[in-house]
């Protein structure tokens, strides 16, 4: 993180032909409010010091004994030690271990740690696991609560007395039609196969994204960082635009198309019934899944509608940052045990008539093949940093999101894909052979190949399907195209999963329009 910020400051100075001090002030003016502390701490930058040296001198980066010295840029001509001595007077920020150590951000970081640990909204006054606040695991992640003082009112429940007096399930449909005295919920939603969508996923499902304009100095302005507070409090995830639970128009490029939106268009009674229970950086995701779900899944087997549950950890079981990465991958035997354990727990929680879709792992060789020799956003100004260099830097630090795929070692990339295929076959066999009381189980491959083919037919390039800053996650375009491909597959092969079209959708929307509703 320090290296990214320092690199941006140095490039700003170059682009605007200014001093480093002026570039630092420029960046600080771009960044909103308390987040300016991130750039104010970099008071000691010297033009003769590259980002590696600055961050080591601030002690935000360090070299552990016996470990290699990790650097993003070529080492300076003088020795590192003498360069450090030159940069020792860095003020009160020396020695802070992370951004969260700064007093202005400490309280916010504690809130973020809480929601990461519990996967629940930070602001939830009635304890029903739904919120009226967007970030900190609020309604960007699960349907918006319409009464946060009443734990019996939340998205996804079956209506209380057909919602004659109030909207108990937050789908906006309540009251009685004055023409015939029939409750609107009964008239429009009875027998409509209403169901929600739940994602159990990793950072791809949460839609991890760092805006490239944050580090592209030729495009940088105050407008570039207006979304920083929201991104920070959403863990740099954008579930509101994601391919499973997205519901807002994308502001990060591409367009939003999601399973939730398509289910909502198919049946307007499904409004707000969504949950995105995903987390960045979980390793061995299915282990202790029952504990994970018990704190996070909001579904009452007796009171709520059925749900479509998407189980999609498309890379975490083979991805880690360890040097001996193969030894830390999930084995087929572990995969079988962990996923069956998770499904048994779901069987005790999901209402009857639910569905579970197991998604296979991705073939991550696509990443290296399409990105390794391209310039990263940090390297575009001077054409000096490729994705291959970024991958090597992260691997040296042992924080690579996937050492097995983000590597120049072709043999290792192939072995990682081989393990991913083995684990996908385990999921496929589970869907074929395991039976449960309250849901049926389906399997689908992650549609990367079909997505790339479709995108190329539209005139796009394969590398555009990958997040540009991290060079690892699916982009907004990839997610939207993947949704379309998955939906068409479901219509062909499992139409019962999607439920039937609600013939009253137009009437519901017309009433909302007449009443000024949303």
The β-bridge relationship of strands 307-312 and 354-359 is parallel
Q: Which helix (H) or strand (E) holds 277?
A: strand 274-278
Q: Are 31 and 227 in contact (CB under 8 A)?
A: no
The one catalytic residue in 57, 203, 388, 475 is 203
What does DSSP assign to residue 376? P
Helix segments in 234-386, DSSP class H: 259-266, 289-296, 332-347, 365-371
Q: In this structure, which long-range contacts are made by residues 223-232, counting pairs with CB atoms below 8 Å and at least 24 apart in sequence?
A: 224/30, 225/30, 225/31, 225/32, 225/35, 226/32, 227/251, 228/31, 228/32, 228/35, 229/32, 229/33, 229/35, 230/134, 230/135, 232/35, 232/108, 232/112
**Using CB atoms within 10 A of its CB, is residue 69 exposed (0-12), middle (13-18) or buried (19+)?**
exposed
CA–CA separation, 15 vs 8, rounded Å? 10
Q: Which helix (H) or strand (E) holds 479?
A: helix 476-493
Cα-based angle 427, 416, 288 (whole degrees, multiple of 5): 45
203 in active site: yes
Give φ, ψ of 79 to 5 degrees: -70, 150
CA–CA separation, 8 vs 397, rounded Å? 20
Positions annotated as catalytic residues are 203
């Amino acid at each position: 993180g320090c290296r990214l910020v320092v690199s941006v400051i140095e490039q700003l100075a170059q682009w605007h032909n200014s001093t480093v001090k002026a570039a630092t002030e420029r960046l600080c003016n771009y960044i909103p409010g308390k987040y300016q502390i991130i750039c104010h701490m970099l008071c000691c930058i010297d033009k003769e010091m590259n980002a590696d040296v600055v961050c080591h001198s601030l002690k935000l980066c360090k070299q552990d004994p016996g470990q290699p010295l990790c650097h993003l840029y070529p080492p300076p001509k003088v020795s590192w030690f003498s360069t450090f001595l030159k940069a020792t007077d860095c003020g009160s920020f020396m020695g802070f271990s992370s951004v969260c150590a700064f007093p202005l951000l400490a309280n916010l970081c504690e809130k973020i740690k809480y929601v990461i640990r519990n996967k629940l909204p930070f602001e939830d006054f009635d304890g029903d696991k739904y919120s009226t606040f967007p970030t900190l695991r609020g309604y960007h992640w699960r349907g918006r609560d319409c009464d946060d003082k009443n734990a019996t009112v939340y998205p996804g429940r079956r209506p209380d007395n057909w919602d004659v007096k109030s909207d108990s399930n937050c789908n906006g449909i309540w009251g009685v039609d004055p023409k015939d005295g029939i409750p609107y919920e009964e008239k429009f939603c009875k027998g409509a196969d209403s169901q929600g969508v739940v994602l159990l996923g990793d950072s791809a499902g949460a839609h991890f994204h760092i805006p490239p304009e944050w580090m592209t100095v030729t495009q940088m302005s105050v407008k570039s960082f207006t979304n920083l507070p929201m991104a920070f409090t959403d863990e740099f995830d954008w579930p509101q635009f994601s391919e499973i639970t997205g519901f807002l128009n994308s502001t990060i490029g591409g367009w939003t198309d999601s399973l939730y939106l398509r289910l909502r268009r198919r049946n307007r009674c499904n409004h707000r019934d969504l949950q995105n229970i995903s987390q960045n950086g979980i390793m061995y995701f299915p282990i202790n899944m029952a504990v994970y779900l018990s704190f996070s899944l909001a579904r009452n087997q007796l009171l709520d509608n059925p749900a479509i549950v998407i189980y999609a950890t498309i890379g975490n079981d083979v991805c880690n940052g360890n040097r001996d990465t193969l030894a830390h991958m999930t084995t087929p035997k572990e995969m079988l045990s962990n996923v069956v354990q998770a499904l048994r727990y779901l069987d005790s929680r999901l209402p009857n008539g639910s569905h579970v879709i197991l998604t296979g792992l991705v073939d991550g060789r696509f990443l290296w093949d399409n990105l390794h020799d391209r310039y990263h956003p940090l390297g575009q100004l001077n054409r000096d940093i490729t994705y291959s260099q970024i991958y090597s830097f992260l691997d040296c630090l042992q924080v690579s999101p996937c050492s097995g795929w983000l590597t120049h070692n072709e043999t290792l990339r192939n072995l990682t894909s081989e393990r991913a295929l083995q684990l996908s076959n385990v999921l496929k066999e589970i869907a074929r052979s395991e039976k449960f009381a309250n849901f049926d189980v389906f399997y689908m491959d992650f549609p990367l190949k079909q997505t790339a083919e479709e995108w190329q037919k539209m005139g796009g390039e394969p590398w555009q399907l990958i997040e540009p800053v991290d060079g690892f996650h699916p982009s907004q375009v990839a997610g939207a195209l993947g949704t379309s491909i998955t939906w068409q597959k479901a219509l062909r092969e499992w139409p019962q999963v999607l439920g039937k079209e609600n013939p009253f959708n137009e009437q519901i929307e017309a009433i909302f329009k007449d009443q000024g509703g949303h």
